[in-house]
Amino acid sequence: MPRFLLKRWHGYHIVLTLVFCVILIALLSLTHWVYGLVGLGLLFGLAYYLFAAERAFQRDFTDYVCTLGERVKRAGSDAAEQLPIGIVLYDENLRIDWHNPYVEKIVGEQEQLIGQTIADCFPTLRDWQPTEETVEFQFADKVYTAETKPGERLMFISDVTEFRHLEKKYDAEQIVFGIIHLDNLDDVTQEMDDQNRILLQTTVTSAITEWANANDILLRRHGDKYLMIFHKQTLALLEQAKFDILDIVREKTADNKIPVTLSIGIGSYTGSLFERVRVAQGSLDVALARGGDQAAVKKGERMTFYGGKSNAVEKRTRVRARVIAHALRNLIRESERVLIVGHENPDMDAIGAAVGVWKAASLQNKEAYIVVDEDNPSITHLMSAIYAHDYLGDYIVNGEDALAQCNRRTLVVVVDTHRPTMTIEPRLLQKSARVVVIDHHRRGEEFVEDPVLVYMEPYASSTCELVTELLQYQTERVSMDKLEATALFAGIVVDTKSFAFRTGSRTFEAASFLRRHGADLALVQTLLKEDLDMFVQRAEIVRHTEVVYDRVAVAVGGDDATYDQLLIAQSADTLLNMNGIAASFVIARRPDGVVAISARSLGDINVQVIMEELGGGGHLTNAATQLHETTPSKAKKTLLQTLKKFELEEENGE
């Protein structure tokens, strides 16, 4: 029942009682007047008692309420004084009007803080604005959060140092999975006797085990792989050391004809445990696709690579080439037509490989087309020869025509690249459900989504070499036209610098096969001829060369001048032939406005990781990148900063 109803009922009860007493006194008076007087006296006595009791109750109640208010006020005051939360009242100029003692404890000063600005007390809040309701800042060796009520100019400061330490500890102890793969242990030990084989295996196993123990890594071996389980804080140390186990194992087995190399895949530290292991395996696959001898670490959507200081070891067996060739043949037979697409500004390797895939499709009596959008000086002579050919010129289409012919049952073959954004027509890859990738570059972070077949061999000299091997298994007897064989041969010649770089035994076997099937060396020289104007332009770029770190040549074209991509690459090749130069970088603007950087190396400097740092990629000795919305001079500054970073890492032994 509400309090006011209770009070009203209590009043009615007293009135009724008095009325009842008066009636009784009246009845007693009828009996004898003396009884009436006595009753009336008792009635007045009772009324006085009730009145006095009510007054005493009201007085006690009022005293109680006043005492309780004082206690509550005193408790609030004590709380403001003793709570471990800073309370600050400030004016419109952010000057402190009042604060509780905890603020002085935070600042650690005994002098008067009232009148000072908040920025004077907490320098890290110098740029703080009153409109920010919550802000975190650091003062001395602790972390605080400031919650403000701008309308009341009131700030509450809380110490969250322990909470942040707990967060960091939780984050540092996140479980990370990794997989170590022994790239070539079986190949290295194949021709060894049992004693030397066991000795080598023991050396490698001991090195990996000691490294794992030193870094607090749980290690379990399964065949030629090791499963690693460790904390996220350990991953930071491994990245800081650039996964030195790669160098340790390679150096300890350097006395062998072929040193043992490792590949490492590291998964992210988010998601379920199963998801982390799956990502670790995917990272390992990427590291192996890039040629091994490196670590691939995936965090979220970004993948970082470490190592990769040695060239991929050439595989002696052709089993994989035969399996891929049979799979490609079946895909061609099951498709309505075949579209072959290379990268933007195609070079001799891309066009030659495209011609080879076209030949593979024609051997299966399938309609096939090569997608070429723009001509450039690097392929001018080859494209002229193709258009003048009896039938090859009829199978060259542009991107729009190819897109019109493409459907879900069209086989799209991507050659000499694996990055969708670098292809001549990326929409082809989205429109078709069947995409094949044939490439010799080390795999980068960007890759074709859900390809039905991938043939990536970083050890190969060129994509033309890979396509030539695939052609040998398409039919029992392969008959090739002179231009078809010459185009493939020219691609190998260009990418190997006339068989001087990245050349293995299988490169010569592929060249021999093409030579037997009509490749014309004189025609190759004709296709590779350059104009006098290009020679003069290349000489102009080379003339503006700066040598840094005593062995790296950096040449820059003018900010207002434009150069062809082939000319930029040839300039880098020219600089690499100079005495004392271990690596060369040529920066120039292309006719399309993009600033291109071509990088070359003799092998001592990994130009691939340098170009990947700038968004490009390639091989250990041959790489490139493209920079948008910049100038060659600005691109040079960016490159020099990147070179400084990698040079310092080498000096520090990282």
**What is the residue whose two structure tokens read 């060259």?**
396
Q: How many CA atoms lie within 13 A of 207 on its CB side?
A: 22
Of 256, 622, 297, 246, the C-alpha closest to 461 is: 622
**Strand extents, DSSP E, 443-492:** 453-456
* pLDDT for residue 621: 79
Q: What is the mean pLDDT of residues 154-182?
A: 87
Q: Copy the structure tokens of residue 106.
A: 């935070």
- Return d(Cα 69, Cα 174) in angstroms, integer: 52
Angle at 384 between CA 378 and CA 386, to 5 degrees: 105
- Return d(Cα 571, Cα 633) in angstroms, integer: 17
Interacting residues of 253 by C-beta distance below 8 A, sequence separation 6+: 188, 200, 203, 204, 259, 260
pLDDT at residue 465 tops 90: yes
pLDDT band, very low/low/confident/very high, at 310 (cuts 50, 70, 90)? low
Mean pLDDT, the chain, rounded, equals: 82
Q: What is the pLDDT of residues 122-149, one digit of tens each?
A: 877 777 777 767 788 888 788 888 888 7
pLDDT band, very low/low/confident/very high, at 218 (cuts 50, 70, 90)? very high
- Return d(Cα 413, Cα 326) in angstroms, integer: 15
Q: Copy the structure tokens of residue 399.
A: 């991107």
Helix %, strand %, coil % for the chain, to 5? 50, 20, 30
Helix, strand or coil, per DSSP, at residue 432: coil
Q: What are the helix (H) ranges across 338-388? A: 348-363, 380-388
For the ranges 76-85, 89-98, 200-209, 561-570, which has the lowest average pLDDT?
76-85
pLDDT at residue 313 tops 70: no
Per the model's pLDDT, the better-predicted residue between 500 and 181 turns out to be 181
- Return d(Cα 306, Cα 244) in angstroms, integer: 9
Of 448, 441, 531, the C-alpha closest to 495 is: 441
Percentage of the chain exceeding pLDDT 70: 89
For the ranges 113-117, 232-236, 490-494, which has the lowest average pLDDT?
113-117
pLDDT band, very low/low/confident/very high, at 3 (cuts 50, 70, 90)? very low
DSSP bridge pairs for 176: 230
Q: What is the mean pLDDT of residues 181-206?
A: 81
Region of 618 (left: φ > 0; alpha: ψ -120 to 50; beta: rest) is left
Helix, strand or coil, per DSSP, at residue 604: coil
- Are 146 and 139 within 8 A, CB to CB? no
Q: Copy the structure tokens of residue 536.
A: 């003069």
Of 226, 222, 193, 223, the C-alpha closest to 209 is: 226
**What is the residue whose two structure tokens read 């992210």?**
268
Q: What is the mean pLDDT of residues 291-317?
A: 71
Q: What is the mean pLDDT of residues 273-292?
A: 84
Range with the largest mean pLDDT of 152-161, 438-447, 464-473, 567-576 = 464-473
pTM of the model: 0.60
Helix, strand or coil, per DSSP, at residue 422: helix
* pLDDT for residue 229: 93
- Are 378 and 565 within 8 A, CB to CB? yes
- Return d(Cα 364, Cα 2) in angstroms, integer: 96
Q: What is the pLDDT of residues 394-432, one digit of tens each?
A: 999 998 999 999 998 899 999 999 889 889 999 999 889
pLDDT band, very low/low/confident/very high, at 592 (cuts 50, 70, 90)? confident
- Return d(Cα 495, Cα 507) in angstroms, integer: 11
For the ranges 188-202, 313-327, 383-397, which has the lowest average pLDDT?
313-327
- Return d(Cα 503, Cα 412) in angstroms, integer: 29
Q: In this structure, what are the phi and psi dihedrals at residue 545, rounded to the nearest 5 degrees? A: -110, 135
Q: What is the mean pLDDT of residues 459-470?
A: 90
* pLDDT for residue 414: 95
The string of DSSP letters for 4-58 reads HHHHHHHHHHHHHHHHHHHHHHHHHHHH-HHHHHHHHHHHHHHHHHHHHHHHHHH
Q: Copy the structure tokens of residue 636.
A: 């040079």
Q: What is the mean pLDDT of residues 243-254?
A: 86
Q: What is the mean pLDDT of residues 605-617?
A: 84
Q: Copy the structure tokens of residue 256.
A: 């062998």
* pLDDT for residue 75: 55
* Neighbouring C-beta atoms of residue 394, cutoff 10 Å: 11
* pLDDT for residue 353: 94
Report DSSP state, residue 89.
E
pLDDT at residue 315 tops 60: no
**What is the residue whose two structure tokens read 């490749």?**
519
Of 620, 626, 640, the C-alpha closest to 588 is: 626
pLDDT at residue 6 tops 80: no
pLDDT at residue 80 tops 60: no
pLDDT at residue 55 tops 70: yes
* pLDDT for residue 47: 74
Range with the largest mean pLDDT of 53-62, 181-190, 252-261, 429-438 = 429-438
Q: What is the pLDDT of residues 511-543, one digit of tens each?
A: 999 999 889 888 888 888 777 777 888 888 888
Helix, strand or coil, per DSSP, at residue 302: strand
Q: How many CA atoms lie within 13 A of 9 on its CB side?
A: 6
Q: What is the mean pLDDT of residues 281-292?
A: 81
What pairing do the DSSP bridges indicate for beta strands 175-182 and 262-266? antiparallel
Measured between its terminal Cα atoms, the distance across the chain in Å is 81
Of 473, 472, 463, 468, the C-alpha closest to 502 is: 463
For the ranges 26-40, 218-232, 422-436, 550-564, which has the lowest average pLDDT?
26-40
Q: Residue 632: which H helix or E strand, with range?
A: helix 632-651
Helix, strand or coil, per DSSP, at residue 181: strand
Cα dist from 274 to 17, 105, 441, whole Å: 83, 48, 31
Q: Copy the structure tokens of residue 511.
A: 């060249």
Cα dist from 479 to 268, 362, 516, 635, whole Å: 50, 11, 10, 48
Region of 311 (left: φ > 0; alpha: ψ -120 to 50; beta: rest) is beta
Helix, strand or coil, per DSSP, at residue 225: strand
